[in-house]
Each structure stands twice: as C-alpha cells, then as structure tokens.
Amino acid sequence: MKTPGSTTKPRAPTILVIDDDEKQRTWLSSMLSQSGYRIETAASGAGALAICRNKSVDAITLDLILRDMGGWELFHAIRNDQRNCDKPVIILSVVTEKEVARAFPVWDYLVKPVRPEDLLASLQRAGIKAEKDKRISLSTTIGKPSNWLRPHSSNWTMKHFVWPTRRAASRRLLTNNLPPSFLIS
C-alpha cells in the first residue's frame, strides 16, 4: 500500500547470466550489477532451466558451450518455456563464426572476450535499460583519474576532487556528495 508522499522506485531489470565458467560468470554478474541490473546466475543448462521455469527475467546472456547441454539445446528449451520465451537472448561465446546463429532468433551475438560497453549497448538496444541512479565518484589526491578508472556504463557519473587534509572538511565533502559507491585511490 502506498502512503501519501511516498514514491515507488522502479525495479531494476533482471538479467540471467548463464555461463559454466565461474570467473566469467562472476565478472559478468559484477559488471552488470554495477551498471544497474539485478542478476540471476546459472552455471549449467539445468540450473538455467530451473530459474526460467520459476522466474521471469528481462534478458538472458548465454554461453554456447556448457558442460551439461549444448547452448542451442538450452536456447530452444528457454524459447519453449512460456515465462521467458520472448526475452532477448544475447549469445556470449568463444565461437567466432557468428553465422551459426543466423538460424536462431537471438538478439545479439558477442564473441568472448566481451567488452563491457558492447554488452551494455546490446542490452540498451534491446530496450533493457539499467537503473538511472547508478553513480560512482572517484577521489584522488594526485592528478586526474586514469583511463582504466573510466566507468563502463553511461549511467554512471564520475566526480573527481582532491580531498581536503582537514577531517572536518572531508566529513562535509562526504556528507554532501555521498554516492551509492565510490573509489578512493
């Protein structure tokens, strides 16, 4: 029940990440959640099907090479399931022959290693937009932030400032500018 003056924050879109490689799954989950998405993960085809039968997701990333079943077999099983049959599926694979996917109605096909900006752009084109209020502030005492610290999401805001040396001034700065996350170097 909504009370007067309260606002309901829209739910962040949920992405199902299907990859049997734990490092890849962890990296994708971290990158996508930092970009404003909610994440469900599956390390196998059977795990992915269990999630798809019980939950509706907004998009799916699918590795074609899984230990327990083929990626295309899993793709067909997801398409035959009512709950997620029409969700955009983005293939993430080491298989470089994208022509293989032409026979399947996939949203996009990205070759690993996947660049974050490519995956985020593909989700945006599919209409799966991340939360708008994800921000990151960078704080450093020496020069401007280096290129590797650039955000990989257009939804992030970067601030750069030099911390005052006095505690009271630093506390005021934090109180007035505190984002959901920040990096101190």
Segment (H or E) for 16: strand 14-18
Residue 141: exposure state from Cβ atoms within 10 A (0-12, 13-18, ≥19):
exposed
Please tell me the pTM assigned to this model: 0.67
**pLDDT tens over the chain, length 185 residues:** 545 555 556 789 999 999 999 999 999 999 999 999 999 999 999 999 999 999 999 999 999 999 999 988 999 999 998 999 999 999 998 877 666 656 566 899 999 999 999 999 999 999 999 876 454 434 444 444 444 445 544 545 554 444 445 555 555 555 444 454 545 44
> Which SS3 state, helix, strand or coil, does residue 164 take?
coil
Strand-strand pairing, 181-184 and 160-161: unpaired
Query: Where do the domains of the chain lie, and which CATH numbers do they carry?
Result: 14-125 (3.40.50.2300), 136-184 (no CATH)
